[in-house]
């Protein structure tokens, strides 16, 4: 589907490289998908909140645990958005499924957008 995608190396200076490339192309701010277990991404958004904004993937199948993780991500790690990929869940969760309602409610409570992919 995608041709000639660049290979991205993850090196200790990859945050600086990202910021350099953003500057080079006139990009003021970027939205970074963050996994809380990935210290590099968490560090990047914590150290550069003026440039890098974080979003975190949420699985409605996770119930209350998923909602607690989302709240923790927002309150403690500066995450500004939730992501939801319905077809990528097991089992899949349609965007209008009742299992997604608590996710939407938590996003309203936290005053953050949810991106549905």
pLDDT tens by residue, the chain, 117 residues: 677 777 766 555 789 999 999 999 999 999 999 988 888 889 999 999 999 999 999 999 999 999 999 999 999 999 999 999 888 888 998 999 999 999 999 999 999 999 998
For residues 73 and 96, is the Cβ–Cβ distance under 8 A?
Answer: no
Burial class (CB in 10 A: 0-12, 13-18, 19+), 75: exposed
User: Given this model, what pLDDT does residue 9 score?
Assistant: 60
pLDDT score at 10:
55
Residue 37's pLDDT is what? 87
Interior angle at CA 87, CA 59 and CA 36, nearest 5: 35
The structure's pTM equals: 0.79
Contact status, residue 115 vs residue 79, Cβ threshold 8 Å: no
pLDDT recorded at residue 1: 64
Helix, strand, coil proportions of the chain in percent (round to 5)? 45, 15, 35
pLDDT at 4: 75
């Amino acid at each position: 589907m995608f041709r000639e995608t660049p290979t991205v190396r993850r090196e200790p200076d990859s945050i600086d490289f990202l910021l350099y490339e953003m500057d080079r192309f006139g990009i003021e701010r970027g939205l970074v998908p963050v996994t809380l277990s990935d210290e590099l991404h968490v560090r990047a958004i914590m150290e550069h909140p003026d440039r890098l904004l974080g979003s975190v993937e949420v699985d409605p199948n996770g119930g209350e645990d998923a909602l607690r993780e989302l709240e923790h991500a927002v309150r403690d790690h500066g995450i500004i958005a939730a992501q939801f990929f319905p077809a990528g869940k097991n089992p899949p969760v349609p965007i209008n499924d009742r299992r997604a309602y608590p996710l939407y409610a938590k996003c309203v409570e936290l005053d953050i957008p949810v991106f549905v992919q």
